[in-house]
Amino acid sequence: MPAPRSAPANRDSTAPVSMRGVAVGATAVILVIACLGAVAWYAGWFRRPEDPRVVAIGDLMRDLLEKERRRTGPATFMTAIERVSGIVTVGMKVNELPQDLRPRVMPLAMGVMMDHLDDRMNAYFALRTSEDRTRFIDGELAQMDFLKRAFEAQGKGGGGPDGRPGGDKGPRGPDGGPSSGSGQTREQRFTKWVLDRTTPEKRARLSEYIGAFERRIAQTGRKPL
């Protein structure tokens, strides 16, 4: 009988590693580095630090929002004066920024504005009866009237949130905001800008909310917002 075949000898641990093994190892290292880099990026390790002036303006806007959230009771002309004073202060701070820094404020402003809008919509939809919702809208419209008067009292002529006469609501042009020359009113451009940047569910809620305002304005014979 032939002698049994002996088992192959173990390879020398010092033998050269195959090129395929090198490639697999290098790919694994690259993937690990890429993952760590992504984590570092999202953690803000490699991002350019925001200008402290922009950060300060963002803090001012969030402080205005928190004051509004803490406010209780019906709107008055004096509370409107206080709000307008804060809004104009923010506008002055923005105007003091260099031109290249001003666009960085807009995402902060829009974030605060959308948070405020969410607060008002949540309060509206939490009401169960049409009578309560109508009273809520009447209160909001009264507050808008007070704000308009407060702007006029400060010589702003009902200007926008940046303190400029007739200031637009939202960014303009290539930055993604409403642009002029579209044949629409400022309010229509702003509404479209907001609706285009929300989820379908939120868009439906917002459309219903704005529609309730428009119907109440028509019922009471008020001028459009």
Q: To which H or E segment does residue 17 belong? A: none
96-109: per-residue pLDDT in tens? 999 999 989 988 88
Q: Locate all alpha helices (DSSP H) within 71-185, ordered by sequence.
A: 77-96, 102-125, 130-153
Q: Is residue 23 part of a domain?
A: no
Whether the pLDDT of residue 152 is over 80: the answer is yes
Q: Is residue 34 part of a domain?
A: no
Q: Is residue 25 part of a domain?
A: no
Q: Is residue 57 part of a domain?
A: yes
Count CA within 13 A, CB hemisphere, residue 95: 11
177-187: per-residue pLDDT in tens? 444 445 666 66
Q: Is residue 101 part of a domain?
A: yes
Work out how many domains the chain is built from and give that number. 1
Q: Is residue 37 part of a domain?
A: no
Q: Is residue 147 part of a domain?
A: yes
Residue 6 is predicted with a pLDDT of 52
Q: Is residue 110 part of a domain?
A: yes
Region 107-135: mean pLDDT is 92
SS3 content of the chain, % helix, strand, coil (to 5): 65, 0, 35
Q: How far is the C-alpha of 147 from the C-alpha of 129, rounded, in Å? A: 27
Q: Provide Rg for the chain, Cα atoms.
A: 29
Region 150-154: mean pLDDT is 85
pTM for this predicted structure: 0.61
Whether the pLDDT of residue 204 is over 80: the answer is yes
Q: How far is the C-alpha of 62 from the C-alpha of 111, rounded, in Å? A: 9
Residues ≥6 apart with Cβ < 8 Å to 99: none
Q: Provide the mean pLDDT of the chain.
A: 73
pLDDT band for position 162 (50/70/90)? very low
Residue 54, amino acid: V
Q: How far is the C-alpha of 94 from the C-alpha of 58, rounded, in Å? A: 10
Whether the pLDDT of residue 125 is over 60: the answer is yes
Give per-residue burial for 98-124: e unless 16+ CB within 10 Å, then b. eeeeeebbbebbbebbeeeeeeebeeb
29-63: per-residue pLDDT in tens? 445 444 444 444 444 444 455 889 999 999 999 99
Q: What is the share, in percent, of the chain residues with pLDDT greater than 90?
A: 27
Residue 160 is predicted with a pLDDT of 42
- Its domain, for residue 194, covers 52-220
Q: How far is the C-alpha of 161 from the C-alpha of 85, rounded, in Å? A: 10
Whether the pLDDT of residue 17 is over 80: the answer is no
Burial of 194 (0-12, 13-18, 19+ CB in 10 A): buried
Q: How far is the C-alpha of 152 from the C-alpha of 171, rounded, in Å? A: 23
Handedness of CA 192, 198, 199, 203 (dihedral sign): negative
